[in-house]
Structure 1
Amino acid sequence: MVAAYPRKRTAFLLVDPFNDFLSEGGKVYPRLKPIADEVGLLDNLRRLNGAVRAADIQVAIVPHRRWEPGDYEDWDHPNPTQQRIMHQHQFARGEWGGEWHPDFAPKPGDIVAQEHWGQSGFANTDLDMRLKQKGITHVIVAGLLANTCIDTTARYAMELGYHVTLVRDATAAFSHELMHAAHELSAPTFAHAILTTAEVIAALQEAQG
């Protein structure tokens, strides 16, 4: 069943819309490109972003920590992703790769959450507080990566009491196996809805009357 999305209580969480992930020449983009092209990631994100804005849905940008010199180097146990960022300087602050993809840069009125160090956009950030101050109860989660920051942010949202929707073709991962694990194995244990971009847009249009 497609969920209903009350306009004043719904937010679109766009996770990690950086050039390194989404743009030709990005440090991570080559690993994502096969799956991204297959699902139509960029076009679906553009359609979804346009539709939520047309519906006057709150947009929240949920960014990963932008790498800076010294990050993670003195940590007791950085996780594998953090170690990769440390060595490859992904999403580097002040560099093109750490800038917003031009189609998904924040606009006036958007929430731009504090940067997350791990895989949850909620853990150790101000995202929950800022959504609660807007009266948000429903979140639509899209962006990257399906099996890490999307899965973890969405799962954490459920733990905090939000109604959670995942958009299966507005995300990507490094393999079909990881996409399958995210959408067919993990998400059904916590998400209230797992929809396509077209289904989310139809639900938003229906909510508008």
Structure 2
Amino acid sequence: MDINNQDTAVVITDPQNDFLSEQGAAWPLVQEGVRENNTIENIEKVFVAARDRGFKVFISPHYYFPYDREWKFGGTIEKKMHEIQMYERKAPLDLDGFEGSGADWLERYKPLINADNVVITSPHKIMGPETNDLALQLRKHGYKKVILAGMSANLCIEAHMRELIEQGFEVAVVKDATAAGRDPELGDGYEAALVNFRYIANAVLSTEEATQAMSTG
């Protein structure tokens, strides 16, 4: 996969407190993997490389509004997110209580997100980008390849990888700029994701490999 800033964009999913802050709702579920992979630091390295090397970044966030809590059914993790009140916001146009909340960006990323090279898409609602405008934004900006990082590996990252590939994009997953939960009953989400990354993605890279490719592309 040829990586260059003319036809390759960076996509970051869910760089938000509920996954990446020690006060986040999902932190107890993912903290072990986040620490093992240095996920927080590696996502930051991808952001910095994109800024310094002229790559556009598209952030696909996750938000839930009060009416989303009225859904009548859902899958295992979807129901868990509602149960632990992840990504809660009062309304699409209401930022009251947003600053520092679980739905807000991780504080250390804010200078990198509030930048001219960043596009924030509409929110995805379960895991994949089928419910937001990510693919449209990528196409309208002229991109056909994606470097994919963020949270979490076997959920939003895998779902974004699958859908973007189905939509005709080439996708390189940054395997240590993500992480996932481990559960004695459900299994190791990260190991499951790695298997599928290797089967499906156009490339599976470390953060070092991805940022090096961005510097030479």
- Partner Cα distance (2:9, 2:207) in 1: 15
Letter aligned with residue 216 of structure 2: E
User: Does 2:145 correspond to 1:138?
Assistant: yes
- Partner Cα distance (2:161, 2:206) in 1: 16
Q: Tell me what 2:209 maps to.
A: 199
Q: Tell me what 1:119 maps to.
A: 127
User: Does 2:143 correspond to 1:147?
Assistant: no
Q: Tell me what 2:93 maps to.
A: none
After TM superposition, the runs of 4+ consecutive aligned structure 1 residues lying more than 4 A away are: none
- Partner Cα distance (1:204, 1:109) in 2: 15
Q: CA deviation at 1:200?
A: 0.6
Matches within 5 A, 1:61-76: 61-64=59-62, 66-73=63-70, 75-76=71-72
Residues 72 and 83 in structure 1, CA contact (< 8 A), matched pair in contact too: no
Q: Tell me what 2:171 maps to.
A: 164
5+ residue gaps, structure 1, are none
Letter aligned with residue 27 of structure 2: Y
Q: CA deviation at 1:180?
A: 1.4
- Partner Cα distance (1:62, 1:9) in 2: 19
Letter aligned with residue 155 of structure 1: R
The secondary structure found in structure 1 opposite 2:160 is helix
Residues 25 and 102 in structure 2, CA contact (< 8 A), matched pair in contact too: yes
Q: Tell me what 2:105 maps to.
A: 100
TM-score by length of 1: 0.90
Matches within 5 A, 1:43-62: 43-62=41-60
Letter aligned with residue 117 of structure 1: K
Q: CA deviation at 1:159?
A: 0.5
- Partner Cα distance (1:44, 1:36) in 2: 10
The secondary structure found in structure 1 opposite 2:171 is strand
TM-score by length of 2: 0.87
- Partner Cα distance (1:20, 1:177) in 2: 20
Residues 72 and 78 in structure 1, CA contact (< 8 A), matched pair in contact too: no
Letter aligned with residue 120 of structure 2: V
Letter aligned with residue 197 of structure 1: T
Q: CA deviation at 1:22?
A: 0.7
Q: 1:81 to 1:177 in 2, by over 3 A?
A: closer
The secondary structure found in structure 2 opposite 1:135 is coil
